[in-house]
Structure 1
Amino acid sequence: MRLIFHISILLLCCACSLTSPKIEKINGVSFVASRDSVSEKNIKPVVDLNANYAAIMPFGFIKNLQHPEIIYNTDRQWFGETDEGVKQYVQTLKKQQIKVMIKPQIWVWRGEFTGLIKMNSEEEWQELEKTYENFILDFAKVAEDINAEILCIGTELENFVAHRPKFWTQLIKKIRTIYKGKLTYAANWNEFTKTPFWADLDYVGIDAYFPVSDLKTPTVADCLQGWNAHLPDIKNVQQTTKKPILFTEFGYRSFDFSGKKPWLIGNYDANPNLEAQVNTTKALFETFWKEDWFAGGFVWKWFHNYEQSGGTKDNMFTPQNKPAEEIIRQYYKK
């Protein structure tokens, strides 16, 4: 009788393991805010990509890297950058079964890098903390109201994090009292190993602009080899924190040397190179999407007006209307 009991338990355990649902990858797009509201027509291309998530990105603005005041949710901003716009975008996405990450971001005048934001006095740091807390907590309330699945608490703010770590720990606690979903932070590709509060979040978020090749048109094999330089750090942080890795942004421009400095946003006259974008994109998917510890990511970037976006003469990040779009579609379908 005891033998029969043990066999029954064993069979039950095996059956449970066989039927356990596989964790769904986050197959996301970074859905760019616009002047206008969006409709089902604007969301259909996202669905056709086999995406299941979209990052919605309201913006706050500061005058310069030493200025502590963040201006946000004003009548002078585009509709999609305001709380009203965020709610309308999310409602429209969710009608098409697209989940969302709310990702409030800062824009420094003239596009200066947010990682360099640094105050000159204790008083200015405290003012920045106050205004940033208001910015994030307001959108945490929005995220809770619209049942957003993920909230990203900051994007590429290396100096701010390094100089004021206690502020971030306290901020996360305050966010948790308002918002009940998952939390992450979007660390820059060369910042994430130093971020001190991963234990307090649900995902290790990385804006994954890692350099993978110095070649004009790298092959997939070249880029796969290039990832070997970064995988040890990524795996080490994952194993240390026991948190899944989420690429809060990933993508490559469709121009020459796209894998050399993937973070570059200038050089608008550079020659388009669609093959370089395809090969770098393929290598990223082949490196990460099969890993259990990897949660997925959000391709940078996706515009609401699909028909007018991207195209074979475009040298920017968006994969829309380029061969890279079909690559993403295939991997997202898997």
Structure 2
Amino acid sequence: MPVSGRRPLWPPLLLLPVLLLLGWWQWGRMPPLPPTAAPSPHGATTPATLPDKRLRGVNWVAADSASSANIEPLVRAGVTWIAQTPFGWQAGAAIPEVRLHTGAGNRGYWGESDRGLLATTQLARRRGIRTMLKPHIWVRGGSGAWPGDINMTTDADWQAWFASYSVFLLHYAQLAETSKMDALCIGTELQHASAGHETEWRTLIKQVREVYHGPLTYAANWSGEFEEIRFWDALDYIGIQAYFPLSTTVHPAKETLLAAWKQPLRRIEAVQKRYKKPVLFTEIGYKTTPDAAIQPWAWPDRMAVVTETDQQTQRLCYEAMFETFWRRPWFQGTFIWKWYPGLQADGSARRHLDFTPQHKPAEQVMAHWYGR
């Protein structure tokens, strides 16, 4: 209604202190504003909605190109880290030379080249996803060769190997520093090199820290290497390639998987308590087959005429792993093995048998826990 004339000013002036006190009391009861994105010391950002600092990662498969469209499925799945894996080449398990290949060509994909690693890091960073650089060694000499086979026959050869490996790794330490990658893994499953060579690794770690100033880990094999390493105190994370066997039969129930995790959990906790470092699963994954929990490290038989797919077993393996570890305060996160950029739901049948969770119930489990 209209008001005629001018009201005196003194009543509002007397009420002003009361109103200010009331407003201050009410403001103090309001919930805090949501956090802003936290900058990484190496340039990436953590999405503001994350409830903790666990690494929600996948192992990124290098390809001959990458685009921003390849990053969006990661964002939808709650992924906040990728591990990129360039390869060095070793002619044989007892050959004390690691060959460094930094460019794309017939020995590797563009995504494994320095240029590709940098471009992928930048694409991921634009969407708030951080990068761990995780160099591997490809051992020639047979389809069954792996880094755990590397073993020199003389002390002189070991010294030559460590000198060569140091050149290899320090190149990637420098690349990680200049491109502001967010973590560096200094080795993967080099079980003969890691056990009994503590001095050499401590020297290498010191050299790496002079070049790269982000957090460091090492990716130790599940079968016992992670318990034998004596230089965890010099690193930031205890890294484990967590392919622990969880069943002796196909189609295991989740109760079986949860029970099977108890013994590896005790072993991991013992190492964690000794070194007081957070634990990171640098790799963990399960293929999409009924026997996924029997030998989780083994690839499916691609030569078989018919191979049964089993998305249910893969899903249960994911559930048991997350339920066992994710809430533990010393557990730092996971890098799921593995993630193909651009993989379509109707894509390669081979890839739908292997370790990727993409377009499967396992991806929904991962997204659920990564979204917590």
TM above 0.5, one fold? yes
Change (3 A) 1:313 1:88: closer
Question: Retained in 1: the 8 A contact 2:82–2:129?
Answer: yes
CA separation in 1, counterparts of 2:231 and 2:178?
A: 25
Deviations 1:107-147 (A, max 9, x none): 11234121120112233222211111011100001111121
Moved over 4 A (4+): 308-313
User: C-alpha distance in 2, partners of 1:202/1:310?
Assistant: 38
**1:307-322 matched pairs, under 5 angstroms:** 307=344, 314-322=352-360
Going from structure 1 to structure 2, the CA distance change for 1:29 and 1:116 (only over 3 Å counts) comes to same
Q: After TM superposition, give the deviation of residue 79 of structure 1 in Å.
A: 1.1
Larger Rg computed on CA atoms = 2
Q: Secondary structure at the match of 2:184?
A: strand
Structure 1, gaps ≥5 residues long? 1-18
- Name which of structure 1's ranges 223-232 and 156-165 shifts more when overlaid on structure 2: 156-165
Alignment CA distance shift 1:22-1:278 (3 Å) = closer
Give 1:333's aligned amino acid.
G
Query: Which sits farther off after the overlay, 204-213 or 113-122?
Result: 113-122
Residues 279-294 of structure 1 mapped to structure 2, 5 A cutoff: 279-294=316-331
Deviation at residue 266 of structure 1 after TM alignment: 4.6
Aligned length: 316
- Matching of residue 264 in structure 1 with residue 298 in structure 2: yes
Q: Which secondary structure state, in structure 2, belongs to the residue aligned with residue 215 of structure 1?
A: coil
Partner of 1:251: 285
TM-score under structure 2 length normalisation: 0.81
* TM-score with structure 1 setting the length: 0.90
Amino acid at match of 1:23: D
Contact 1:272–1:313 under 8 Å retained in 2: no
Structure 1 position 245, deviation (Å)? 0.4
- Name the SS of the counterpart of 2:95 in structure 1: coil
Please state which structure has a larger fraction of its residues in helix: 1
2:219 partner SS: strand
Q: Which residue of 1 aligns with 2:209?
A: 176
Query: Could you tell me which of 236, 241, 251 is aligned with 1:207?
Result: 241
Name the structure 1 match of 2:45: none
Opposite residue 71 of structure 1, the aligned amino acid is R
Q: Which secondary structure state, in structure 2, belongs to the residue aligned with residue 38 of structure 1?
A: coil
Note the alpha carbon deviations across 1:75-107, whole angstroms, 9 max, x for none.
Answer: 432111121111111011101110110000011
Partner residue, 1:216: 250
Partner residue, 1:24: 53
Deviations 1:206-254 (A, max 9, x none): 0000111122111211100000111111111111111000000011111
Give the match for residue 136 of structure 2.
Answer: 105
Is the 1:140–1:151 contact (alpha carbons within 8 Å) kept by the matching residues of 2?
yes
Say if 1:309 and 1:90 are closer, same or farther in 2 by CA, change over 3 A.
Answer: farther
Q: C-alpha distance in 2, partners of 1:179/1:124?
A: 27
Contact 1:118–1:160 (Cα < 8 Å) also in 2:
yes
Computed over aligned residues only, the root mean square deviation of the Cα atoms, in angstroms, reads: 2.0
Match of 2:262 in 1: 228
Deviates more, 1:307-316 or 1:124-133: 307-316
**TM alignment of 1:111-190, pairs within 5 A:** 111=143, 112-190=145-223
Contact kept in structure 1, 2:135 and 2:169, CA below 8 Å: yes
How high is the sequence identity, in percent, across the aligned residues?
37
CA contact (8 A) 1:37 1:88 kept: no
Q: Distance in 1 between matches of 2:154 and 2:215?
A: 33
CA separation in 1, counterparts of 2:68 and 2:352? 25
Query: Quick one: distance in 1 between partners of 2:348 and 2:232?
Result: 35
Contact 1:310 1:319 in 2 (8 A): no
Tell me the equivalent position of 1:44: 72
- The DSSP-based 3-state class of the residue aligned with 2:186 is strand
Q: Secondary structure at the match of 1:229?
A: helix
Aligned with 1:197 (options 224, 231, 240): 231
CA separation in 2, counterparts of 1:326 and 1:116?
A: 36
Q: Deviations over 1:245-269 (max 9, x none)?
A: 0000011111122111111125223
